[in-house]
Amino acid sequence: MPDIVVFPKTTVEVKGIVDFARRYNIPIVPRGAGSGMSGGSLAVNGGIIISFEMMNNIKNVDKVNLLVEVEPGVITGQLHRYLEKSGLFYPPDPASRNFSSIGGNVAENAGGLRAVKYGVTKDYVKELEVVFPDGNIVKTGGKTVKNVAGYDLTSILIGSEGTLGIITSITLKILPLPKSSKTFLLKFKTAEEAIEIVPELLLFESTPSTIEFIDRYSLDAVEKFTGVNYSDGAGGVILLENIGNEGEIDFWSQQMKQLFNGRNVDYLESANEEEKENLWKVRRSISASLSQIRPNRFNEDVVVRRSDLTKLIEFSYKAAKKRNVLVADFGHAGDGNIHVNMMYNSRDKIETKKAWEATEEVAEFVVSLKGSISGEHGIGITKKELLKLQLSPNETEKMKALKNAFDPYGILNPGKIF
């Protein structure tokens, strides 16, 4: 528990809180919506939580330069809907978009379902207003298309999990809203067959906006939870979507059908918005559904090259089976980012220990494949033990030196990452 929670409304108020905390050496934890998956906004050392719930204004939309300026407490899904009314588009769409905040997305460099085509949060952040631990208010980056004046402080702050500075305003790049979309649910006999089609899906002129993989264990949970049979017993499915102009999507859709028929793939196709939403229910119901199978899980967000996805899936099953632990794999196959979920009941200490051992083994395997232990959730407190598997001692020391340069007082979100 924190010692106190404060709800500032302005950058000046945030500065006042930082000055007070520095004077009395009190830890500060910035908090957006508290939806992070790695414990980054927890007050592990007590102190002050700065909640940005009341700094939730969309301050300015610049249609000429395709920019939008927002406060950190703005909910991502609300920004999507606000911009779409004006024919504009903010592509990053983490699965938590309807309850996560833009500030948190920036702090974790959130990914999302559309990352395969449009990239992640860092690809859209142009300018930040930041309160540093010394109390200075600084604007980093800029509103121009190009900017290489000095070190790129904006990129350093993105994904820093609130350990280097407190973000109080964010300027984002936006795009014209695509007018057309098409969604397919592809069904395969095995998870491996589902994964193997992914590289082929990326060889066409139009890159799909979404390529999501869902394995049999996740499908079982969803179909039990929702009471709807989406998969007809498939060993794995791919949820495939593309968005763009009408001509592009029509042409892409025909190319996909030719590929599916050539591969003898069973599939469902969305003919309208309602059918599209029905197909998406299977993906959006996974987390809630898995909670019905086991109350707890180590939800990892490991990343490998797309050519190594089959190896990752197979290894996760072996690591779980060896310890008699349930595992469910799903996630962003289009960019090699899979959520490996080792399931357990925290009341069962032996099962908990086995699930963590399987998680560690998968992380070691990912690193051996030159992958990453985190693609979008960050390190926080849950992956600190795994980080040493990936970073060399020299890399870690350079990162610690960076932390000390930004926060020599050690007050900003202590106990995270390292």
Q: Are residues 187 and 224 in the same domain?
A: yes
* Domain end point (choices 271, 287, 303): 287
pTM listed for this prediction: 0.95
If you compute the radius of gyration of the chain from its CA atoms, what whole number of angstroms results?
22
Reading the block at residue 143, the tokens are 């509103």
Q: What is the pLDDT of residue 218?
A: 96
Q: What is the pLDDT of residue 394?
A: 97
Q: What is the pLDDT of residue 413?
A: 98
- Cα–Cα dist 100/391, whole Å: 28
Q: Are residues 47 and 153 in the same domain?
A: yes
Per-residue model confidence as pLDDT tens for the chain (418 residues) = 999 999 999 999 999 999 999 999 999 999 999 999 999 999 999 999 999 999 999 999 999 999 999 999 999 999 999 999 999 999 999 988 999 999 999 999 999 999 999 999 999 999 999 999 999 999 999 999 999 999 999 999 999 999 999 999 999 999 999 999 999 999 999 999 999 999 999 999 999 999 999 999 999 999 999 898 888 999 999 999 999 999 999 999 999 999 999 998 999 999 888 989 888 888 989 988 999 889 999 999 999 999 999 999 999 999 999 999 999 999 999 999 999 999 999 999 999 999 999 999 999 999 999 999 999 999 999 999 999 999 999 999 999 999 999 999 999 999 999 8
Any domain includes 39: yes
Instruction: Look at residue 244 and give its three-state secondary structure.
Output: strand
Any domain includes 396: no
Q: Are residues 272 and 302 in the same domain?
A: no
Length of the chain: 418
236-244, strands of its sheet edge to edge = 266-269, 180-188, 236-244, 210-215, 327-332, 337-344, 296-303
Any domain includes 155: yes
Residue type, 152: D
Q: What's the structural domain count of the chain?
A: 3
- Which residue range(s) make up the domain with 381? 294-390
